[in-house]
Amino acid sequence: MAEEKKIFKVTIDNITIEVEPGTTILQAARRIGGDVVPPAMCYYSKLKGSGGKCRTCLVRVAAGSTADPRPMPKLVASCRTNVMDGMVVESMTNNTVLEARKAVVEFLLINHPLDCPVCDQAGECDLQDLSYDHGRESTRYEFERRTFERHDLGPYIQLHMTRCILCFRCVFAADQLTNKRAHGILDRGDHSEIATYIEKSLDNDFIGNVIDVCPVGALTDRTFRFKNRVWFAKPVEADRSCTKCSGKVRLWMRSDR
């Protein structure tokens, strides 16, 4: 039997796009781009297995497929739901989805401290952007928040567990980039926290990537702590024709001129 390449037609917010089978709704929406794209916190396209934790990317599936056009009973996480042929998805056009997103942001911010003026991530923080775009103006939470002491994971990384939203991205990054993961999420539910179990330091050569992957200011660079603010840094093209890394390099650095 001749292998015919299947193409699925999916409609997101009245925009139809053709994608390969196995694409998730989120990826299809990103293909379209613009306002249609659901926000995502825990999903990181380059990390295998990421997604499905934070529920920010909720969308409504108005019709499952051409074969079975019934709508899905609940909102689904678009980063974990694959498209079907003839699927109709509502993202920005559905009020329930927008309300749900607001609620998810409120949940994410329950334990997150409002220390953006102090936090080094401010300005490149996904949660900050998310709450600006989709959040409520104020919180309704009135109980004591979960707080932790600041923690140094080795000489380069600082863990500020209070800010963590448990997206698991750093865990996936350490799993997929280093040969032995030294940190992970301990405990369950409300008690879960990022830790190295018994005060180990993260010293793999590639472990610095967890700082970059962290969507909030939970993992920050110790060597760069309080040195700069994101919006003071300006891009400097630093491309080098080096045989080892030969790539486009853009340095973001602070300069007064």
Partner 1 sequence: MNAWEKLYLPAVLKGMFITLSHLFKKKATIQYPEQKRSFPKVFRGLQVLNRDEEGRERCTACGLCAVACPAEAITMEAAERQPGEEHLYREEKYAAKYEINMLRCIFCGFCEEACPKDAIYLSETVTPANYSRAGFIYKKEDLLIPDPTKDPEGYQKALGHRAKKINN
Q: Which residues bind partner 1 (CB under 8 A)?
A: 115-118, 122, 225-227, 229, 231-232, 256
> Least distance (Å) from partner 1 to the CB of residue 128?
12
> Least distance (Å) from partner 1 to the CB of residue 229?
4
The answer to whether 228 and 254 are in contact (CB under 8 A) is yes
Residue closest to 46 by CA, chosen among 190, 213, 194: 213
**Closer residue to partner 1 in complex, CB, 197/226:** 226
**Closer residue to partner 1 in complex, CB, 141/232:** 232
CB atoms within 10 A of CB 208: 17
> Least distance (Å) from partner 1 to the CB of residue 149?
12
> Least distance (Å) from partner 1 to the CB of residue 196?
23
**Closer residue to partner 1 in complex, CB, 7/253:** 253
The answer to whether 163 and 216 are in contact (CB under 8 A) is yes
**Closer residue to partner 1 in complex, CB, 70/229:** 229
Question: CA 29, CA 55: separation in Å to the nearest integer?
Answer: 16
Q: Give the strand order in the sheet containing 151-153.
A: 151-153, 157-159, 219-221
CA dihedral (195, 196, 199, 202) positive or negative: negative
Residue closest to 225 by CA, chosen among 205, 211, 209: 211
> Least distance (Å) from partner 1 to the CB of residue 233?
11
Question: CA 156, CA 205: separation in Å to the nearest integer?
Answer: 11
**Closer residue to partner 1 in complex, CB, 118/249:** 118
> Least distance (Å) from partner 1 to the CB of residue 87?
43
Longest CA pairwise span in the chain (Å): 66
**Closer residue to partner 1 in complex, CB, 232/252:** 232
